[in-house]
């Protein structure tokens, strides 16, 4: 599989290494100052270098434009950027209108997605237990641009929906420290006891692996919009 990396920062480098381990080739890298090799909606690259799928990890300000450009050229795109979800419906509509393929996730780590499942189950078990106050905390490296993280927002949305709680009763606290890859904690606290659910990433490798798995899935998928649930199922 030939991959285009849109965004070649630390995540891009981690994805490139993981892709090579799995027998794939990165044939295109587009970073913030690089022009797209496109003219009149078509790729200006050698046929042997044309990517089968793009993996996008950039910024909230540029992610939407990058995805729309991929749809325009018929390139399936895996988007790992967070913080752009106010435009989610617009992006999905454009993807469907062009018969494109899009894979989005607030977190590509398999372990984190298992935590999502646990969080949803715990929220259902705690539904109606007003004696427990719930909160979320997330810690990331100082370079992360959005706060709270998309992962923390997903955890919050799950608790609100599955636990029948108001969004203001599930506060999120964000910390930005050093080079922390990502730690997310959900706490249910009462006078009697405390229940804690935590996922701590040790490196970007888990995110990179999930992104490459998503690219492998998307390259063979039918047109549509997909998430990590499609892989885990």
Which amino acids are annotated catalytic? Answer: 140, 144
> φ, ψ for residue 102 (rounded to 5)?
-135, 135
Three-state helix/strand/coil letters over 152-194: HHHHHHHHHHHCCCCHHHCCEEEEECCCCCCEEEEEEECCCCE
Give the residue from 43, 105, 46, 32 showing the smallest Cα distance to 69: 43
Asked if residues 140 and 176 have their Cβ atoms less than 8 Å apart, the reply is: yes
How many CA atoms lie within 13 Å of 74's alpha carbon, on the beta-carbon side?
Answer: 5
Give the residue from 215, 220, 217 showing the smallest Cα distance to 12: 215
Angle in degrees, 0-180, between the axes of helices 110-125 and 205-220, rounded to the nearest 10: 90
Residue 101 pairs with which residues in a beta bridge? 224
Asked if residues 170 and 208 have their Cβ atoms less than 8 Å apart, the reply is: no
């Amino acid at each position: 599989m030939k991959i285009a990396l849109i965004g070649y920062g630390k995540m891009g480098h981690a994805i490139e290494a993981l892709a090579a381990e799995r027998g794939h080739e990165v044939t295109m890298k587009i970073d913030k100052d690089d022009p797209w090799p496109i003219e009149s909606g078509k790729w200006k690259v050698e046929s042997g270098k044309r990517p089968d799928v793009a993996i996008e990890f950039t910024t909230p300000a540029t992610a939407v434009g990058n995805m729309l450009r991929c749809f325009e050229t018929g390139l399936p795109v895996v988007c790992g950027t967070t913080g752009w979800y106010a435009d989610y419906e617009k992006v999905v509509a454009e993807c469907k209108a062009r018969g494109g393929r899009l894979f989005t996730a607030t977190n590509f780590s398999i372990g984190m997605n298992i935590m999502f499942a646990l969080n949803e189950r715990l929220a259902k078990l705690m539904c109606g237990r007003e004696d427990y106050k719930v909160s979320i905390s997330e810690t990331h490296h100082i370079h992360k641009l959005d706060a709270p993280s998309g992962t923390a927002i997903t955890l919050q949305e799950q608790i609100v929906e599955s636990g029948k709680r108001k969004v203001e009763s599930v506060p999120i606290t964000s910390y930005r420290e050093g080079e922390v890859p990502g730690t997310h904690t959900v706490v249910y606290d009462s006078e009697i006891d405390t229940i804690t659910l935590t996922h701590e990433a040790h490196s970007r490798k888990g995110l990179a692996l999930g992104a490459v798995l998503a690219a492998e899935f998307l390259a063979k998928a039918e047109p549509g919009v997909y998430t990590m649930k499609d892989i885990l199922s």
